[in-house]
Amino acid sequence: MSVVHLLLSKEGNSQEECEDSLEYREDGSLFIAAIADGASQGYESKLFSGLLCEHFVERFKESQEYDEKELRGKFDHFLKEVIEAFNAAIMEKTRGRELKWYEENAIGNGSFSTFMGLVFDVGTKKGYLLSVGDCFLFQVKDAEMKTGEEDPEQVLRIYSENHQEQSNTPYLLATNRLYNMKLPEYLFLSPITVENGEALILATDAFSYFLIDHTENIGIIKSIAKCDKSGLKRVVETGRRQKRLKNDDVAIIIKRFERLPMKEPNTLKAAEKSSFIMARQENSPL
């Protein structure tokens, strides 16, 4: 299995309340994926983040070449389409009933979401990334190799809209077009090239910052890149329990590019190993 995904609501909330979304599609040599994190203080954030992901995997499948100007134009068109779909859904949901004052104001303020979309040709190993806000893509080199004494900078590359400026006030996509004025400034685009044996991890903010906190111990990230869904879930739950991962909704997609027909990784062990390392670090005098 070369794609693993996990969508998990914050502990204490039902899965229906999860405002993160993800979609991916494998179509011949095309791999297209999207994750989004609806802002908890927006109205119908789950609807907005879901529409962003659904529309992206549908609309960007024809655009496999990295052409920044063209992609920016296409993204504007895509966002307009998503906003129209959002407004139509809200109209449908509220049809025939009187809105309370705060619902009217909330609908006027609209919804907000981070977003990251990946379009990839598995044949050429080339693709591109589009992102707004603090979703991240981690490119793990030699993900199949055993952990050694490696320089994290040589093994891991992190893509995001300026991940050095981590903030709890990210610029997000909005359903109210007036708030998207600065979007050209904040829309991050990048071409991506991978080699066999590498893995790509797309994640919304909580899990991303958890990974960033572990970049000095690349073995953990490599283990995570090899997890199956249940292993990944265990990593998230362990991280939350140990208070190393913020209790927030989580959306993760892992795409692995196997070097050779590889032995199915013992994913449970990988997850256990991650948990073990985290526990060991927690107990470390350092």
Partner 1 sequence: MSYESGAKYMHEISRASPTALVFLIDQSGSMSEKWGGSGTKSSEVAMILNRLLNNLIMRCTKSDGVRNYFSIGVIGYGLGVKPVLKGNTLFGRDLIPISEIADNPLRIERRKKKEPDGVGGVMEIEVNFPIWLEAEAFNGTPMCGALDYAHKVLERWVDDHPDSYPPTVFNITDGQAGDGDPAMNAAKIKRLETNDGNVLLFNINISSDSSQMVKFPDSVSQFANDPYAVSLYNISSVMPENIIAMLGRSEERNYSRNCKGFILNADAISLIEFLNIGTRTDQQIRRGIDD
216-255 footprint of partner 1 as x/- string (CB under 8 A): --------------------------xxxxxx--------
The CA distance from 114 to 52, in Å, is 9
Among 3, 7, 106, 189, binds partner 1 (CB under 8 A): 106
| Count of residues interacting with partner 1 (CB under 8 A) | 45
The CA distance from 214 to 154, in Å, is 15
Among 2, 154, 162, 166, binds partner 1 (CB under 8 A): 166
Rounded to a whole number of angstroms, the minimum distance from the CB of residue 194 to partner 1 is 27
| Residue closer to partner 1 (CB basis): 179 or 188 | 179
| Residue closer to partner 1 (CB basis): 114 or 267 | 114
Among 24, 31, 43, 136, binds partner 1 (CB under 8 A): 43
Rounded to a whole number of angstroms, the minimum distance from the CB of residue 137 to partner 1 is 18
Rounded to a whole number of angstroms, the minimum distance from the CB of residue 87 to partner 1 is 14
Footprint of partner 1 on 120-159 (CB under 8 A)? none
Residue 169 found at the interface with partner 1 (CB under 8 A): yes
Cα separations (Å) of 5 from 103, 138, 147, 225, 250? 34, 14, 23, 11, 10
Q: Which residues contact 273 (CB under 8 A, 6 or more apart)?
A: 223
* CB-CB contact of 255 with 140 (8 Å): no
Among 29, 93, 148, 230, binds partner 1 (CB under 8 A): 93
Rounded to a whole number of angstroms, the minimum distance from the CB of residue 151 to partner 1 is 22
Residue whose C-alpha is closest to residue 252's, from 264, 267, 235: 235
Rounded to a whole number of angstroms, the minimum distance from the CB of residue 136 to partner 1 is 13
The CA distance from 15 to 17, in Å, is 5
The three-class DSSP label of residue 173 is strand
The CA distance from 222 to 154, in Å, is 13
| Residue closer to partner 1 (CB basis): 66 or 179 | 179
Q: Alpha helix (H) ranges present in the chain?
A: 45-59, 68-94, 101-109, 152-155, 183-186, 205-213, 218-225, 229-241, 267-283
Residue 170 found at the interface with partner 1 (CB under 8 A): yes
Q: Alpha helix (H) ranges present in 60-171?
A: 68-94, 101-109, 152-155
Instruction: State the residues that interact with partner 1 by CB under 8 A.
Output: 12, 37, 39-44, 46-47, 93, 100-106, 108-109, 112, 166-172, 174, 177-179, 181, 205-206, 209-210, 212-213, 242-247
